Amino acid sequence: MNESQEDERKIATTLDSRLNQTLKNVQGLLKGRIIPGKILLSRRSDPPDNSNSKISNNPNSEISSPSYKRSFSHNDVSPSDHTSGAKEKEFHSTSKPISIANASKLKVSTPLGGNLPEEIRKSTMGARATDSARVMKFTKVLSETVVILDKLRELAWSGVPDNMRPKVWRLLLGYAPPNSDRWEGVLRRKRLEYLDCISQYYDIPDTERSDDEVNMLRQIGVDCPRTVPDVPFFQQQQVQKSLERILYAWAIRHPASGYVQGINDLVTPFLVVFLSEYFEGDIDNWSMSDLSPDTISNIEADCYCCLSKLLDGMQDHFTFAQPGIQRLVFKLKELVRRIDEPVSRHMEDQGLEFLQFAFRWFNCLLIREIPFHLITRLWDTYLAEGDALPDFLIYIFASFLLTWSDKLQKFDFQELVMFLQNLPTDNWTHQELEMVLSRAFMWHTMFNNSPSHLIS
């Protein structure tokens, strides 16, 4: 055995050891964030293609959610819309580099047969958020005089019960105070501030606006009808008017970025969640005309404030040239190269740049990539991550992309572009989403404390 082969053997041995240790300690590492299903980490040279698997839902174990209809929106945002061709920059670490370039792919798999063991079926179908014991944990945390946000984040990461989601999201974002005695007063004040903003900046004639403000309002008016166009609820005139007010208020209050296409998508989860306090059943049967003007104003205010809190941690995603997104896209490219080098090399050989598809992912946080009825579950994890969300997005998106690892290696440039712009997620259930999140958490655990792994 020559020296090169011996080095490769040592690297493989080290990786096997680390992988086994990760499996042994995974429950401790999760710190309350339970991985769904039976998670198996394996290194396969030729894994089976499960991309077209049909996974049946068990209505008794799946998270109860409003019913949505979803196909793909063609209102795409491309990097050419907002970027100026800024060059990618390396990111550095003082940690000692550890090369894993020769490592095989890391896969997360779960039994997909029709007769799953009961304990696995319960945990893989999104049951955690509606499990009675889990609901009791949420109830206990939320009933405290002062909510302990760290405990709430741990619970919320794995999904929030639908009827608790509005309150939990307000708390996670810091919009509502953890002290229950201050809750009502703070929300009342914030809602009055929003109402004043609308009166001062929106409910005025165009003659009192600057040319930039007129153009911005016109662009928002164009984009609102394009927002989640295949969910009929968002085609209601009152819904689009609420979106317009929220977006215009946000843009006016954030002049460094103003309105950027894609932010309209980011309002939609908040709107659905806060409306769910007033409606039940299928979202297509909801009508905002059934609500009083005061109620609509309060919902808009909550959406506006929560959107502001969310974007406060990623302001450079929406400033000129959107440098924050460009930086994260480059990190995503590096992470994929380390996790699945064959896919990375093939995409590079075909001349496909990550900005060509991942820019939209970061800009719209996958809202245009997966069925809309799964978005609120995904956002439970987003909001539970708090200030760490931008960096954790890299791992979620890497996991999302590598769901189709085997397919991607077979496509030429044109096929790659078409596939990544129209991903086959229409029939996704909570199980596929949970697997994406589980894989992301695993990779984050393995890589995040060793950033030198991501240095070329």
**Does one domain contain both 179 and 310?**
yes
**Does one domain contain both 282 and 356?**
no
pLDDT average, residue stretch 157-168:
97
Amino acid residing at 103: A
What's the confidence (pLDDT) of residue 320?
A: 85
Q: What is the chain's percent helix, strand, coil content, to nearest 5?
A: 60, 0, 35
**Does one domain contain both 313 and 176?**
yes
Query: Which residue range forms the structural domain that includes residue 277?
Result: 161-317
> Which of 283, 317, 351 is where one domain is finished?
317
Mean pLDDT of the chain: 79
Q: What percentage of residues in the chain have a pLDDT greater than 70?
A: 70
**Does one domain contain both 328 and 263?**
no
203 Cβ neighbours under 8 A, 6+ residues apart: none
Q: Which long-range CB contacts under 8 A does 287-290 form with residues at least 24 apart?
A: 287/236, 287/238, 288/236, 288/238, 288/239, 288/242, 289/236, 289/238
Which residue bears the tokens 């698997």? Answer: 53
Give me the number of domains the chain comprises.
2
**Does one domain contain both 166 and 204?**
yes
Q: For residue 19, is it within any domain?
A: yes
> Which of 302, 317, 332 is where one domain is finished?
317
Q: For residue 345, is it within any domain?
A: yes
For residue 429, the 8-state DSSP code is -
Higher pLDDT, 45 or 130: 130
The alpha carbon of 94 is separated from its chain's Cα centroid by a whole number of angstroms, namely 30
Min mean pLDDT across 118-127, 128-137, 339-348 is at: 118-127
Rounded Cα distance between 122 and 131, Å, is 9
The alpha carbon of 281 is separated from its chain's Cα centroid by a whole number of angstroms, namely 24
**Does one domain contain both 190 and 102?**
no
Binned at pLDDT 50, 70 and 90, residue 62 comes out as very low
**Does one domain contain both 184 and 302?**
yes
> Which of 317, 340, 374 is where one domain is finished?
317
CB 435 within 8 A of CB 80: no
Binned at pLDDT 50, 70 and 90, residue 228 comes out as very high
Rounded Cα distance between 283 and 240, Å, is 15
CB 367 within 8 A of CB 375: yes
Q: What is the dihedral of CA 434, 332, 31, 182, to 10 degrees?
A: -90
Q: For residue 17, is it within any domain?
A: yes
Structure tokens at 225: 């009808």
Q: For residue 444, is it within any domain?
A: no
pTM for the predicted model, two decimal places = 0.74
What's the confidence (pLDDT) of residue 83?
A: 43
**Does one domain contain both 410 and 286?**
no
Binned at pLDDT 50, 70 and 90, residue 150 comes out as very high
pLDDT per residue over 85-117, tens digit each?
A: 443 333 333 333 333 333 333 333 333 233 333
Structure tokens at 425: 């997620």
> What's the CATH code of the domain at 97?
1.10.472.80
H helices of 162-207, in order, are: 165-172, 180-197
Q: For residue 99, is it within any domain?
A: yes
pLDDT per residue over 315-341, tens digit each?
A: 889 888 899 999 999 999 999 999 999
How far, in Å, are 118, 203, 250, 252, 255 from residue 308 at the CA level? 42, 21, 7, 12, 13
Residue 223 host element (H or E): helix 211-223
Burial class (CB in 10 A: 0-12, 13-18, 19+), 171: buried
Q: For residue 154, is it within any domain?
A: no
**Does one domain contain both 31 and 9?**
yes
pLDDT per residue over 425-453, tens digit each?
A: 999 999 999 999 999 999 999 887 765 55
For residue 403, the 8-state DSSP code is G
**Does one domain contain both 308 and 325?**
no
Binned at pLDDT 50, 70 and 90, residue 131 comes out as confident
176 Cβ neighbours under 8 A, 6+ residues apart: 167, 170, 183, 186, 187
Which residue bears the tokens 């990618």? Answer: 88
How far, in Å, are 333, 353, 456 from residue 344 at the CA level? 8, 10, 13
pLDDT per residue over 362-420, tens digit each?
A: 999 999 999 999 999 999 999 999 999 999 999 999 999 999 999 999 999 999 999 99
CB 322 within 8 A of CB 256: no
Q: For residue 255, is it within any domain?
A: yes
Rounded Cα distance between 303 and 243, Å, is 9
286 Cβ neighbours under 8 A, 6+ residues apart: 233, 275, 279
**Does one domain contain both 388 and 429?**
yes
**Does one domain contain both 22 and 93?**
yes
Q: For residue 380, is it within any domain?
A: yes
